[in-house]
Amino acid sequence: MARQPRIHIDGGYYHVMLRGNGGDEIFSNDADRYHFFMLLQEGVKRFEHRIHAFCLMSNHVHLVIEVGNIPLSKIMQNLSFRYTRWFNNHQKRTGHLFQGRFKALLIDEDHYLLELVRYTHLNPVRAGMVKSPSAYSWSSHLAYTGEQTVPWLTSDTVLSHFSSHLDAARKSYASFVMDGLSESHRAEFHTGGKDRRVLGNDRFAEQVLEHSLNTRRTLTLDECLAHVCKVYELETSALSERTRVRKHSEARAVVAWLMGKFSEESLTMMATYFHRDVATMSTAVRKLEKRLITDSEFKKKIDLIHDNIKL
């Protein structure tokens, strides 16, 4: 059965789960965890989303993310790719670190946000690692209680549900979390409802599914190749040839950048398609993004391709 496309809603709240491949550990030491935090911080700034909660376990990660107009898939592909590269380099290993695609549920903020944040922060307790969430350093719980400072975390949305005064909100939040200590595994936070991409009542599910049907379509690779090659006056097959001609490499980078922005194709998939190393493709895309800021003529060319695609 073909996998269902992800649902993107501007301002949507998602429960995101990243798991180690085959249950393997994804953090070997605190340096790995701090680097993951750095990538989260950079992602918040670059992709203009908010992180409302997080919990780093040994072999998986929970995140509660509120997206803007940039799809979650773009955010998570960048995060998982960059962290995998870091981890593999420091562990002298190769291959996949994470298990397939990340798992994400679009949640009904009004009914589930507070409970999801509590569920996320209690994950180490359920796993038997600690007796209290305050004893675990690698979740956002201590930032909510004021015992840690995490500049890139958005905690005021949740805390505002408890009180308009910060100290009172933190105390009420802490009591709310402790009230859930006996809470066991909640399958709905992992599998969703009737539509496994959504967690909410029937009305919420109907609204977001209707919205998703009416939103901007996804760019296909064939369409992208056709428009890029037309502007660069190249045959599609030329982009996969073993050549260092600048026009060819630039066109490849444009295709990879557009597909990353307007589809769910990962950079790894694009590198495989073009028979290139993923690190090389990543470098080319980063250079392209910088050039869009400094080179007005190049930006005009990219704008022309974008306009022709008419997304």
**What percent of the chain clears pLDDT 70, i.e. is strictly above it?**
95
Q: Which of 151, 125, 147, 152 is nearest to 136 (CA)?
A: 125
- For residue range 56-92, what is the model confidence (pLDDT) as tens digits? 999 999 999 999 988 898 899 889 989 998 999 988 8
What contacts 305, CB < 8 A, 6 or more positions away? 227, 228, 231, 254, 258
Domain 13-214 falls under CATH 3.30.70.1290: yes
* Whether pLDDT at 1 is above 60: no
Pairing of strands 198-199, 103-107: parallel
* Whether pLDDT at 145 is above 80: yes
Other CB atoms within 10 Å distance of the CB of residue 307: 10
221-309 has which fold? Chromosomal Replication Initiator Protein Dnaa; Chain: A; (1.10.1750)
Q: What are phi and psi of 286, to 5 degrees?
A: -65, -40
| Alpha carbon of residue 303 to chain centroid | 26
- For residue range 5-50, what is the model confidence (pLDDT) as tens digits? 778 888 999 999 999 998 999 999 999 999 999 999 999 998 899 9
For 208-232, b/e burial (b = at least 16 CB within 10 A) is beeebeeeeebbebebbbebbbeeb
CB distance 274 to 239 below 8 Å: yes
Domain boundaries defined on the chain:
13-214, 221-309
Confidence of residue 3 (pLDDT cuts 50, 70, 90): low
| Token pair recorded at residue 19 | 């798991």
pTM of the full predicted structure?
0.72
* Whether pLDDT at 144 is above 60: yes
Give the highest mean pLDDT range of 100-114, 135-149, 234-248. Answer: 135-149
- What distance in Å separates the CA atoms of residue 118 and residue 133, rounded to the nearest whole number? 10
Computed over every residue of the chain, the mean pLDDT equals 90
- For residue range 166-221, what is the model confidence (pLDDT) as tens digits? 999 999 999 999 999 999 999 999 988 878 889 888 888 888 877 665 555 578 88
